Amino acid sequence: MPQDLELYDVTIVGGGPVGLFTAFYSGMREMKTKVIEYLPFLGGKVPYFYPEKMIYDIGGIPRISGEAFTEQLIDQAKTFEPEIVLNEQVMHMEKQPSGHFLLKSNNGARHLTKTVILATGYGTLKSVKLDLPEAADFEGTSLHYAIRKMSDYKGKNVLISGGGNSAIDWANELEGIANSVSVVYRKSTFTGIERNISKMMSSAVNVYKPYQIISLSGENGQLASAIIAHTENAIQEEVPIDNVIVNHGFVIDLGPISEWDMKMQEGSIVVDGRMETSVPGIFAVGDISNYPNKLNLIAGGFHDGPIAVNNAKLHIAPKEELKPLYSTNYEPLINKK
């Protein structure tokens, strides 16, 4: 066993919402905890892609922005002072003779831990780019793959390409802010939530389907117009625009973790009722985990995390009694007030 490394009870790989809540609960279980996040900030894709988008489906929180939600999660996760490592990607895992795990990162760093909880989401997310040769000329200035601040689009003519939940949500959010909002989708039927589609269709949003963008024009990085074409009869139309938002989904890459000899299914990690993978001592929670009747919501991940923590603790000390734990009567929390 590497003698120069500090040994942790649990190392959580991923600092998104589920990883952060898991770190909080791990602290409540009085486990020595480390969180390793690939990005240079905590919160995962929520603060990066949806800082101003409102979240409604978490119990007890009627309405909260992605940015505010992330701030609260970080504050909660730091309650019991876990070790937090940013801007580092865990690449390799080696099982030690002691039964512990040695994790190796892309920068050469090593981490020693008794158990591992993978909370990586779907892995590294990269937006699917608009497949036009001139698109790169406008990226970062007037062509974007995510919206950071909605106020940047005030009074602008915005064209959104995509037909899923993200495209429809942004169309509804921007409809009262931008001068005009248009949505172009290559299929005849949208794939988003029905209620949100109905809201968009009854608003002032201009909807083009089945259409796709075939060319962009402008100068010095600033868009002026887009040519869109009907996907069935090739009829073309020019749309004056200031900005394009592309929501064509993501390319998902779990990276070397997929080579850790864990049972995989459809790009995710199979776990049992304890959230344990096929490798004893390694658990998976949130989007990356795969089990029957899974709830693909942040709230579902908040359920996964404590189960994984409880069973990680049992993995470390299988003969010790695991008593029920409630924050309302947990003295270390009460004493922090």
The total number of residues shown for the chain amounts to 337
The pLDDT assigned to 297 comes to 87
Q: Are residues 79 and 112 in the same domain?
A: yes
User: Mean per-residue pLDDT for 254-279?
Assistant: 91
pTM: 0.74
The pLDDT assigned to 252 comes to 66
Please identify which residue in the block is written with the tokens 């010095």. Answer: 220
User: Mean per-residue pLDDT for 310-318?
Assistant: 97
The pLDDT assigned to 48 comes to 66
The pLDDT assigned to 148 comes to 80
The mean of the pLDDT values for the chain is 92
Q: How many domains, the chain?
A: 2
300 is a domain residue: yes
Residue type, position 13, single letter: V
Q: Are residues 56 and 200 in the same domain?
A: no
Query: Last residue of a domain, which of 248, 264, 283?
Result: 248
Residue 75 CB partners (closer than 8 Å, separation 6+): none
Residue 87 CB partners (closer than 8 Å, separation 6+): 37, 38, 39, 40
User: With the CA atoms of 161, 148, 296 and 168 taken in that order, what torsion angle do they form, in degrees rounded to the nearest 10?
Assistant: -30
User: Mean per-residue pLDDT for 49-57?
Assistant: 79
The pLDDT assigned to 329 comes to 83
Percent of the chain with pLDDT over 70: 96
pLDDT above 60 (res 7): yes
Cα(16)–Cα(251) distance, rounded to whole angstroms?
18
By C-alpha distance, which of 230, 277, 281 is closest to 103? 281
Tens-place pLDDT, residues 153-186 = 999 999 999 999 889 999 999 999 999 999 999 9
275: helix, strand or coil: coil
Q: Are residues 111 and 259 in the same domain?
A: yes
Residue range(s) defining the domain that contains residue 36: 7-125+251-336
Tens-place pLDDT, residues 9-31 = 999 999 999 999 999 999 999 99
Is 47 within 8 Å of 73 (Cβ atoms)? no
Q: Are residues 65 and 85 in the same domain?
A: yes
By C-alpha distance, which of 192, 190, 199, 208 is closest to 172? 199
